[in-house]
Structure 1
Amino acid sequence: MEEIDDIVTDIAQGCAGKGQRVPKVLAAFIARTILESDPVLFSPEKELSNEGIETLVRMGIARCCQKDDPALETIKMQVTFDSTYVRYEEELAQSNEARANKTKDLIRSIIGVRPKGGTDFETLTALYRQIFSYLQFVSRGQGGLDGKGLSQADPAAVERAVERELAAALESVFPRIGLKSFVLLGAEEKRLQLEELARIVTGIRLFNREQGKGGAGLDHVEDAVATTVSDLREALDAEVAEQHEVCTRYQETLVYCHLRKPDEATAENLERWAQELANRRQYCAYLASLAEDAAASARRVAAQRDAFASEMDELQGMVGGRAAVPKEHVYPKFDAVAAAWFALDEELRVVESRVAVLEELHAFRESYAATLGPHSAVSRQARLEGPPIQDEAAPSPDKPEDKPEEDPEDFDDLPQGDEGGPVRLSVETTPEFMQLPLEYQGFCGWTCANKGGLLLPGKPGLGVVRYRGAHYVFASAEALRDFFKDPEGARQGVVAAATKRPELVHLLRLQDQYPGTSIAKILAAAASKRAASRGGVEGQRTAQGGAAAALLAPPVMKDAACETPLHFVEKNMDPSYEFNEWALRRRALRLAALKKSATTSCQTDASSYRRDNASQVFLPKISSTQTRKESGTQPPLRIQYLQGIRGGANKHLAEVSKVPPLPVGRVELFYEHPFRGSEDQAH
């Protein structure tokens, strides 16, 4: 980035050394056009070498220092107009933002006052003074683009008169006794009441001004803005008509030279006249843009002036010579009068900014020596011998002179409705024919591509051709037919012509084809830099230099894709949703019936203490042991008993121990019953 910034700085300094002041924005724009016009010398895939940088700087200085060059003057006009327009728009936005911030601070300070009670007179007095300061700031308006009022009276005397009138109006609308109820309101309610109070007080002062009994410091904005916008429209209309005649003269002469080939129609003269025609068309396009803005401002001014006048007339009829009028009737009128006056004051600043832009544009009215004046021989010859401008044929040297232009009805042989191909639209088949957006600002692209950048307006009477979502018009039937044969070739021809003549990029609105040479891009970058720095004049110069470097740098390319499903799956489904109205009615009736019903119960002797009981228990866990060998065991069971307790043959006692035999797989205990045994009694 530092290297690119150095290139722009070197070009600007080199031009300054030759006595030519060149802004860094223009230097970067010229350098970028040089890079794109010669991809062989300056490859976009390689970094610039030291030799390439020196060559670029030398070519940029030579290009910027050219004199009496209509193409260079067109580029300068484009950069100057866009930068001036953006600068005044930024000034308006910054002024409005500063005023809004000041108003918010005043309101915030008023809302932040917290009296200790109704007897805190000191705090209430300070609050009343803050409200007075707020009204003093808001009710003045902005008074023009420079922020100064239109009145030339003594400032000190005007200030004293304004304070007296504001104090009287404030005491009449919002007396001090109302502060006690005001402090009890919420923050939002306080803000709304303050804004309404400012409009009502301003409306009272405007009414006093109309009555000749006050209104000090309030300019007659409604008259000033009407006069300014009217003068601007008259100047623009006269200049547009004048430039239209100049463009018509150039167009007639160039068409005549291409058809008849007089001696003056050399290649150098044709190229020079085509450049001068492009310069005049760009100048005329900027005038038309300002005329559109002026017309829109005139409509807004007319609407606000009518509202102001009607409300003021109703006020005068309502108040008249009465001593008192109900405030619920008169306060809305004061509010409406002030709202219209504030809108007119804001519109005055917009109109003044357009006047300033027009003054900047006047520097390019005669910035080069025109070689095709109204009294030149070839121009008079073209006007006498050439075809009228509305019936001119295509500027093709191969077309016979006596061949008339084809009628629009003769285009039936053109392919219609081919998939992906061009389609001719007509007034009969297209209802929105007059509202179709035209490519190349309505100029014939085929003529521009095949005749060295010559700009001829297309003829919608021949039909509008739709191709790939864009709409094209052509200056002749031959151009239309050739476009149907090779539409892509014609489009690429326009791009090639703009590459050789960079002034056509913005004139034909080809910024999408040349993203690196977009003036809007550099101005947006400069605005962001200024917003970030806010460092005065030096900071703005640094920001403009960085923005110029950003413009000179190659654009960053990215691959992007977006995939969407064919059938979207709705996930927020409501299972209780019912589309049938009668089903909803039945559900509503059931709910209504349930709300009217009541469930009752009664305890009787038969049902007393009778209920079903159930308990849930957890059964013991079944435990088992797993072994490697599955088999049964028969451990021996030893039985011990005493023998000879009851007497008999063996009367002596003896302890007997024996192991009885047991069957396999079963363990049992056998013993002899003591009453059924033999001599040996078992126990």
Structure 2
Amino acid sequence: MVKAVVLDPRNLFNVDRTLTKQDVRKLVELCVDKLMDQGSPSLDTIKMQVYFDMNYTSRREFIEEHQRVLQSRLVPVSREITDSRVKTREDLEGLYRKIVSYVLLRSGLGSSTDITTVREATAALQSVFPQSELGTFLSLIKKDKEQQLNDLSMIVTGIRLFNKDSRKGGEGIDDLPAILNEAIPSTSKDIEWELELSQSLAWQYTSWLERLLDPEVETRECIVPLDMVKQALYNVRQHEAFLKVILADVILCAKQVETLQTELATRMKLLRVTVHSKTAVPTAQVFPHFTALAKFWSGLQDEMVLLSILSNIMENLQPFLAAQSQLFPDGQLEDILGLEIKKYEQRMKESSENRIDPYEIKTQEWLLPETTANFDKLPLQYNGICGYTLVKKDGLLLPGNPSIGVLKHREKYYVFSSKEAALRFGSKPDEYIAHVAEKAKQSPELIQLLQLHQQFACVTPYPEVQCLRKVFRPPDFFLHFVTLQP
């Protein structure tokens, strides 16, 4: 928020010098005013961006964090086992029960307070690690004890999963594959519904702004200020962008679950063949199978956790649409526009009819789908938005059409909503790039929406702020951000 206020040229801050005491006072007042504007779609969008940045990360990091949390819960139990000094038979029995609890906690298969589950886990543990081997276990060094605990947990988990599949046990074990097979399509459907709604609103706002900004089109007077309509468009476009990120992760989750389920079924089949009609099987033959089952199941558990996190993030984005939703309640905007709402497919089809001819325009490098490898994977600037339209149409966001031709300028790639937009932007790219940055300064939510972070100054600590505390006490959020470097 501080950075957004300072960068806005309308606030007249000079980023090339250290802020004075008067600047700091003014900055605090402006930040507080902006934060208190509860009816602002712009503020909602910034809050949405902050929320997403603080709660979303890559699937790998989500899973790693989940594993760290799980390990932190295991540490006290593991330490109690590895540091145990038994003296009596009762102590040995107590230690064995702790190992059973550790196995259950690590596997996540049932509760350690459920008697039936504990009995089943104890029986599985006894089949590979009878209580008589505790003496050998206690003689190990701490590191080896921890390793054996982990190995035993994997083997016992595999045994219990195999017993469940054989209908000879599995107490407290949920049918995780079935749960995921139901949860993933349901979550995808919810996200797609939200996505469709935001996209529909975005095209309504876009169509209305096009009318308001076109001097040749007469429109009835709009009770909502033009700037507020633009803020609403930015709000739903940001929501759309975040939903697409979440949906992509859910799709990847579905693929991973399918792979894990296939591997789990294959390994289960191999294990059944290995133990079929045999009263005893060498541990070297079955233990790797049990460990593999546990590994695949753990992968499914990770995907379940990830799916839950993604679903929660999606739901928690909804409140950040509140201000925008109040501008045109009860479908009022749709009634105003009637049936004249151009959506993505129609716009792409119309603009594709007039494309760039690279041989006619040799002053810039243009890329076309039929002549460029991995064309659909090009990292498009402005998140695929047409920079020319943004500048010339007072902040209007229109998705570019790569089929028209992609401009490659200074190793970056730009798309446009029409051939005319492409030609004009291509004639003075640096000038238009600078104008886009200026637009983003006036509407700070565009910095993230258009992925412009690298074009702006970084925020650094302001050491002189300590002396200012003697004058007044600014809000805590402000104390870390004062000096801007270009």
TM-score tier after normalising by the smaller chain length: 0.7 to 0.9
- Alpha carbons 1:103, 1:138 under 8 Å: kept: no
Of the candidates 414, 419, 438, which is equivalent to residue 380 of structure 2?
A: 438
Of the candidates 189, 201, 206, which is equivalent to residue 156 of structure 2?
A: 201
Stretch of structure 1 that moved more, 259-268 or 302-311: 259-268
After TM superposition, give the deviation of residue 92 of structure 1 in Å: 7.1
Alignment of 1:466-545 (within 5 A): 466-516=408-458
Alignment of 1:282-431 (within 5 A): 282-319=238-275, 323-368=279-324, 369-371=326-328, 373=331, 376=334, 378-380=336-338, 382-383=340-341, 388-391=346-349, 406-409=354-357, 411-416=358-363, 422-431=364-373
The aligned counterpart of 1:234 is 189
Alpha-carbon deviations, 1:148-186, whole Å to 9, x = none?
x888xxx84x1x223322332222112345456656767
The aligned counterpart of 1:138 is 103
Alpha-carbon deviations, 1:450-469, whole Å to 9, x = none?
21111111111111111111
State the distance in 1 between where 2:377 and 2:333 align.
39
CA pair 438-131 structure 1, distance change in 2 beyond 3 A? farther
Pairing 1:72–2:27 present? no
Task: Name the structure where helix makes up a greater proportion of residues.
Answer: 2
The aligned counterpart of 1:596 is none
CA pair 374-186 structure 1, distance change in 2 beyond 3 A? same
- Alpha carbons 1:425, 1:463 under 8 Å: kept: yes
The aligned counterpart of 2:177 is 222
The aligned counterpart of 1:44 is 15
- Alpha carbons 2:158, 2:291 under 8 Å: kept: yes
Q: CA RMSD of the aligned region, Å?
A: 3.8
Alpha-carbon deviations, 1:195-220, whole Å to 9, x = none?
22211111122233334443334333
CA pair 307-443 structure 1, distance change in 2 beyond 3 A? same
The aligned counterpart of 1:82 is 53
- Alpha carbons 1:446, 1:474 under 8 Å: kept: yes
State the distance in 2 between where 1:423 and 1:198 align.
59
Alpha-carbon deviations, 1:376-418, whole Å to 9, x = none?
455226349xx9423556xxxxxxxxxx974433x533124xx
After TM superposition, give the deviation of residue 35 of structure 1 in Å: 1.9
| 3-state DSSP of counterpart to 1:424 | strand
CA pair 95-249 structure 1, distance change in 2 beyond 3 A? closer
State the distance in 2 between where 1:381 and 1:275 align.
23
Gaps of 5+ in 1: 1-28, 115-120, 144-148, 394-403, 417-421, 523-544, 558-683
After TM superposition, give the deviation of residue 72 of structure 1 in Å: 2.2
After TM superposition, give the deviation of residue 343 of structure 1 in Å: 1.8
- Alpha carbons 2:386, 2:414 under 8 Å: kept: yes
- Alpha carbons 2:195, 2:243 under 8 Å: kept: yes
State the distance in 1 between where 2:151 and 2:387 align.
56
| 3-state DSSP of counterpart to 1:465 | strand
CA pair 253-39 structure 1, distance change in 2 beyond 3 A? closer
| 3-state DSSP of counterpart to 1:454 | coil
- Alpha carbons 2:158, 2:293 under 8 Å: kept: yes
State the distance in 2 between where 1:451 and 1:426 align.
26
Q: Which amino acid aligns with 2:240?
A: C
After TM superposition, give the deviation of residue 46 of structure 1 in Å: 4.6
Percent identity, aligned pairs only? 28
After TM superposition, give the deviation of residue 425 of structure 1 in Å: 1.4
State the distance in 2 between where 1:49 and 1:75 align.
26
Q: Which has the larger radius of gyration?
A: 1
After TM superposition, give the deviation of residue 442 of structure 1 in Å: 0.6
Alpha-carbon deviations, 1:227-282, whole Å to 9, x = none?
33332111112222232233233334444555552223879754433322211111
Stretch of structure 1 that moved more, 491-500 or 227-236: 227-236
Alignment of 1:597-676 (within 5 A): none
Number of residue pairs the alignment of both structures matches: 468
State the distance in 2 between where 1:450 and 1:268 align.
22
TM-score (norm 1): 0.60
Gaps of 5+ in 2: 462-474
After TM superposition, give the deviation of residue 224 of structure 1 in Å: 2.9
- Alpha carbons 1:142, 1:345 under 8 Å: kept: no
Q: Which amino acid aligns with 2:483?
A: P
Q: Which amino acid aligns with 1:553?
A: V
Pairing 1:100–2:71 present? yes
State the distance in 2 between where 1:126 and 1:264 align.
85
Q: Which amino acid aligns with 1:415?
A: K
State the distance in 2 between where 1:204 and 1:363 align.
46
State the distance in 2 between where 1:45 and 1:267 align.
40
